[in-house]
Amino acid sequence: MWRGPVAVRVRTVVVGAPASGSGKTILATGLMGALRRRGSVVAPFKVGPDYIDPGYHGLAAGRPGRNLDPVLVGADQIAPLARHGASGADVAVVEGVMGLFDGRLADGYGSTAQVAALLGAPVVLVVDCRGQSRSLAALLHGFRSFDAGAGQRVRLGGVVLNRVGSERHEAVLRAAADEVGLPVLGALPRRDALAVPSRHLGLVTAAEHGPAATAAVAAMADLVEHHVDLDAVLRIAEPLPPGPAWSAADAVGARTPPGRARTAVLGGRAFTFGYAEHVELLEAAGAEVVVVDPLRDEALPPGTAALVLPGGFPEEHVADLGANNGLRAAVRTFAASGAPVHAECGGLLYLCASLDGVPMCGVLPARASMTRRLTLGYRDAVALTGSPLFAAGERVSGHEFHRCAVTPRAGTGPAWAWRDGEPEGVVAGGVHASFLHTHPAGNPGSVARFVAAAAAGERDTGTVRS
């Protein structure tokens, strides 16, 4: 039960597509930026476990990009989390994932369609129109009439034509949309210059791309501003369903006095994979969060009682991370003290003895290396070893997304096991390290447990860790 405030009924629209690569990110990010330029306060969201798109959304909207993922947090949390993230906003723009009806399973659980249905929001379908003309009518008819099941029939509010080749091409496409009675909200010309650099796991993060990311977002906003009818988009937007907003304090129970446990969270360009709700939950549970950039900072903050190492791209900054001997030694000493340490994916790599042959922190007796194999997918996992985060036997839904291998794959106290998979990750002392990404809003008890362990460690020793 959430006791958070009832949110203002923010107008909401979801950007979906027939398939990945259709232009969802350009349209959604451009809408966020263009609407903000007009004076709207825009709440940005992304469907699914993506960490990269929300960084660009944040630049466009001037507010933290947030994720809406039924698989990781539960379908019942989607509307409350949306109300929380949209607090104080006029309009919410939600970028979908993959194709409109693509989810974890054959039933489409976790899909853009499911999230749109849970929010009661119309979908703007962006279609890559290269190589087609009147066939667009059949495509739109199919997407509009398809029933995703379980009450997930979604309403297509309109279509945005993407990569239109000429005025003649646009006219034929508009006529095709008219045949099925679906309004065309805009037509984006082909603009190869808008492509954002990518690497082995997708786009380069906004934090790493720096000023070029800001320029790319501005270009997306320019494109949408000139080629999409923003007033028409706002007219079809529907208010979020009324109800309580998600509350971090309610989720964790707020047991530890505020600011009691100083928690260092790695950030900067090498560690960008995190959910906005994580810091909110840490603080609500009693932590004082301090961000540490391992590309610059050479020590942990005085009084650090817990350490969080999120995912990211440490492999892209391996030489600089390895050269920061001071912080690597500080992390190794801190972990050896038994203090709580939570590392996911990129954070796991940083705790290893080496990454692609470059010395890392040496907390774990394991070697990490890049591979050509992409490991990707949701995991229903069970904790094999009790830790400052999870009790042995606790079950979670998580997500795995990497091109790295760690040898050995698991320690003597493995973190997880999942169906058809071998044990994975390490629990040793206060360290919990794994490739598995979890969403803290789906597991708030783990955050409360983590902060309580940090505070208890200070009380037990009577000292301040540094």
Report d(CA 317, CA 315) in Å as an integer: 5
- Nearest Cα neighbor of 56 from 271, 218, 230 is 218
- Nearest Cα neighbor of 208 from 220, 195, 196 is 196
Are the C-beta atoms of 286 and 255 separated by less than 8 Å? yes
Return the amino acid letter for 102: D
Are the C-beta atoms of 286 and 455 separated by less than 8 Å? yes
Report d(CA 263, CA 341) in Å as an integer: 10
The distance from CA 42 to its chain's CA centroid, rounded to whole angstroms, is: 18
Report d(CA 49, CA 41) in Å as an integer: 24
Per the structure block, which two tokens stand in for 181? 């009675």
Residue 138's φ and ψ, nearest 5 degrees, are: -65, -40
For residue 248, CA distances in Å to 42, 104, 145, 240 come to 21, 27, 39, 20
Task: Specify the DSSP element, H or E, that contains 208.
Answer: helix 206-209
Close Cβ partners of 72 (under 8 Å, ≥ 6 residues apart) = 49, 378, 397, 398, 399, 438, 439, 442
For residue 425, CA distances in Å to 244, 326, 364, 381 come to 37, 26, 10, 12
Which residues are known catalytic residues? 345
Close Cβ partners of 123 (under 8 Å, ≥ 6 residues apart) = 13, 14, 15, 16, 96, 100, 112, 113, 116, 154, 155, 156, 157
Are the C-beta atoms of 97 and 112 separated by less than 8 Å? yes
- Nearest Cα neighbor of 245 from 9, 410, 464 is 9
Task: Specify the DSSP element, H or E, that contains 95.
Answer: strand 91-95
Report d(CA 18, CA 409) in Å as an integer: 37
